[in-house]
Amino acid sequence: MANEIRVLIAEDDVNTHEEWRESITAWGYRGEIAEDGIRALDLIGTFNPHILVSDLKMPRKDGLELLREIRELGIQLPVIMISGRGEIPDAVDALKLGALDYLRKPVDPVHLRQMLKNIADHMTVREENSVLRRRLAEVGELGPLFGRSLAMRRVIATIERLAPSSASVVITGESGTGKELVARTIHELSPRRSGPYVPVNCAAIPETLMESELFGHERGSFTGADRRREGCFEVANGGTLLLDELVEMKFELQSKLLRVIEEGRVRRVGGTAEIPLDVRVLAASNQDIERAVREGTLRADLYYRLNVFTINLPPLRERAEDLPQLVQMFVQHYAAQNHRDVVGVDDDCMMALQSHPWPGNVRQLRNVIERALIVCDGRIIRKVDLPEAFRVGGNGASSFIKVPLGSSFEDVERELIARTIEFTGGNKTRVAELLGVSVKTLYNKLERFASDRPENLERPQAAVRKGK
Ligand SMILES: Nc1ncnc2c1ncn2[C@@H]1O[C@H](COP(=O)(O)OP(=O)(O)OP(=O)(O)O)[C@@H](O)[C@H]1O
Ligand SMILES: [Mg+2]
């Protein structure tokens, strides 16, 4: 298979040509080399490459111009750009012009080889996939991601466009809008899909452990490090790493993170060996991430490095037209799971759902439907099956807590937090906002309560889960 794949290299430094030719052949491709952009265009016509690897800086016609012309000619050709030091803004322009990816000089052959392999593997299935995906986008579904609204279709179209590359993506949106789902979908639609998908929740990991969680550690590198441990970056090698709640990461650690991403290699805490990485990094945040940059909690250079593409997920209240489809999907899902013969919701119930503000977005909707399905006694869910807040119009009835005299501050705190979590449908950011504490503080409190009384309060989700 690889034998039939033709790779064109456009590079003006003739001293490296022999080396290029040898590598490409050794990896099993047919290679051809152009010394400038004009020659590259000629060869695209005659050699008809499957993949183009192009230097950004070249005489006569540089990489960006070459890319622009390829696009204008309507040629479908995956392009990997090679940028020199300081050419990152141009590399980002190249991605915007449709380049699949970029590499920095000096090119790491291991990395390039993997990129070529990803593209080559992907090529055979691409045709059928793109037809399938177009259909999915038309009906408003992309894998598990639902939404017929214009806003969601835009999101779906963007995901399709950027999934095949290795470019970073920043995903923003209120809690429960589907950021993690989007991250996973990007991974599933990318050539990395057979590699690992590793989500890390930066808010749920104690600050002191964060560094070793991300980068790993050698045995004995700190008290408690009784054995060697791979960090998330290593675990995600060949796949995708999601840095969830990125804004919660300590400022000093952010520069280390940036360095690892830029250099494409990692050193474990207490270690010396540099481990080469091929990881696509996605970041998610439910806070206004640009404000975090302005306020100095998120490093600007890290943000700009990650923010090659942005996906902003609209809150549920701004896409009420998606509600019926989501409701139907959750009803079917939970009916099957609970072996119940429930088929839908009645009009009155749907109206109550549609007029709700949904502070917890799709997650909250899912929970409401799951609960309604359990309490409902017919085949159709009715308004009486919804939580009290939906029945009285507004959140009136559930927005009070009763505290018996004689309670301690801690009891009150516990009750208030538990009820606020209920009130927001589990939206932790909103809970923290309402209570006037940071998300981190909230997690710490939950952690403490959970260890006192494990059955009563929700624990923060496991910080790290391996993908399938
Ligand atoms: N568009 C959608 N289609 C189908 N299900 C969705 C959609 N958006 C969200 N969900 C469901 O809602 C739940 C919450 O989604 P997810 O965990 O991705 O949200 P999130 O934005 O990461 O939230 P948080 O900020 O709280 O971490 C999941 O069960 C997910 O499957
Ligand atoms: Mg999430």
Band (pLDDT 50/70/90 cuts) for residue 130 is: low
Checking if the pLDDT of 138 tops 60, the result is no
Judged by average pLDDT, the poorest of 105-114, 228-237, 243-252 is 105-114
User: Residue 10 domain-assigned?
Assistant: yes
232 and 293: one domain?
yes
The widest CA-to-CA distance across the chain, in whole angstroms, is 86
20 and 115: one domain?
yes
User: Residue 446 domain-assigned?
Assistant: yes
pLDDT of residue 392: 63
Directed axis angle between helix 150-162 and helix 109-139, to 10°? 150
182 and 235: one domain?
yes
CA of 428 to the centre of ligand 1 (A): 13
pLDDT of residue 436: 85
Assign residue 433 the CATH number of its domain. Answer: 1.10.10.60
Mean pLDDT calculated for residue range 336-354: 90
Atom 5 of ligand 1: nearest residue by CA position: 145
Band (pLDDT 50/70/90 cuts) for residue 394 is: very low
Band (pLDDT 50/70/90 cuts) for residue 144 is: low
Type of residue found at 84: G
194 and 110: one domain?
no
337 and 409: one domain?
no
pLDDT of residue 109: 87
pLDDT of residue 258: 95
Contacts 24+ apart (CB under 8 A), 351-355: 352/383, 352/386, 352/390, 352/391, 353/323, 353/327, 353/386, 353/390, 354/320, 354/323, 355/393
Band (pLDDT 50/70/90 cuts) for residue 142 is: low
User: Residue 153 domain-assigned?
Assistant: yes
Select from 313, 335, 359 the last residue of a domain: 313
- Residue 272, sorted as left (phi over 0), alpha (psi -120 to 50) or beta, turns out to be alpha
pLDDT of residue 129: 53
Checking if the pLDDT of 464 tops 90, the result is no
CA of 182 to the centre of ligand 1 (A): 8
Q: Tell me the per-residue pLDDT of 77-100, one tens digit each, with 9 for 90 and over.
A: 889 999 887 777 787 788 877 788
Assign residue 62 the CATH number of its domain. Answer: 3.40.50.2300
d(CA 202, CA 242): 10
117 and 150: one domain?
no
Checking if the pLDDT of 182 tops 90, the result is yes
pLDDT of residue 277: 94
Directed axis angle between helix 409-423 and helix 428-435, to 10°? 130
Atom 16 of ligand 1: nearest residue by CA position: 178
**Could you give the residue ranges of the DSSP H alpha helices within 103-197?**
109-139, 150-162, 179-188
154 and 279: one domain?
yes
pTM (2 decimals)?
A: 0.64
Q: Tell me the per-residue pLDDT of 152-163, one tens digit each, with 9 for 90 and over.
A: 888 888 888 888
Select from 75, 90, 124 the last residue of a domain: 124
Tell me: cis bond preceding 106? Omega within 30 of 0 counts.
yes
What are 421's two structure tokens?
């979590």
Q: Tell me the per-residue pLDDT of 299-312, one tens digit each, with 9 for 90 and over.
A: 999 998 898 888 99
Q: What is the mean pLDDT of the chain?
A: 84
326 and 308: one domain?
no
292 and 218: one domain?
yes
366 CB less than 6 Å from ligand 1? yes
d(CA 401, CA 420): 9
348 and 392: one domain?
yes
User: Residue 460 domain-assigned?
Assistant: no
Assign residue 381 the CATH number of its domain. Answer: 1.10.8.60
CA of 394 to the centre of ligand 2 (A): 26
Checking if the pLDDT of 368 tops 90, the result is yes
175 CB less than 6 Å from ligand 1? yes
Residues of the chain above pLDDT 90, percent: 36
Which structural domain range is residue 391 located in?
316-397
Checking if the pLDDT of 426 tops 50, the result is yes
pLDDT of residue 170: 95
Q: Tell me the per-residue pLDDT of 20-43, one tens digit each, with 9 for 90 and over.
A: 899 999 999 999 999 999 999 888
Assign residue 148 the CATH number of its domain. Answer: 3.40.50.300
Band (pLDDT 50/70/90 cuts) for residue 200 is: very high
Select from 265, 284, 313 the last residue of a domain: 313
Judged by average pLDDT, the poorest of 13-22, 275-284, 376-385 is 13-22
User: Residue 208 domain-assigned?
Assistant: yes
Residues of the chain above pLDDT 70, percent: 89
Structurally, the chain folds into a number of domains equal to 4
Q: What value does the CA radius of gyration of the chain take, rounded to a whole number of Å?
A: 25
Mean pLDDT calculated for residue range 231-239: 94
Checking if the pLDDT of 265 tops 90, the result is yes
User: Residue 194 domain-assigned?
Assistant: yes
248 CB less than 6 Å from ligand 1? no
Checking if the pLDDT of 458 tops 80, the result is no
CA of 154 to the centre of ligand 2 (A): 20
272 and 175: one domain?
yes
Checking if the pLDDT of 221 tops 90, the result is no
**Nearest ligand to the C-alpha atom of residue 361:** 1
212 CB less than 6 Å from ligand 1? no
Atom 23 of ligand 1: nearest residue by CA position: 176
Atom 25 of ligand 1: nearest residue by CA position: 175
User: Residue 467 domain-assigned?
Assistant: no
151 and 210: one domain?
yes
User: Residue 459 domain-assigned?
Assistant: no
Checking if the pLDDT of 245 tops 50, the result is yes
Which atom of ligand 1 is nearest to 173's Cα? 21
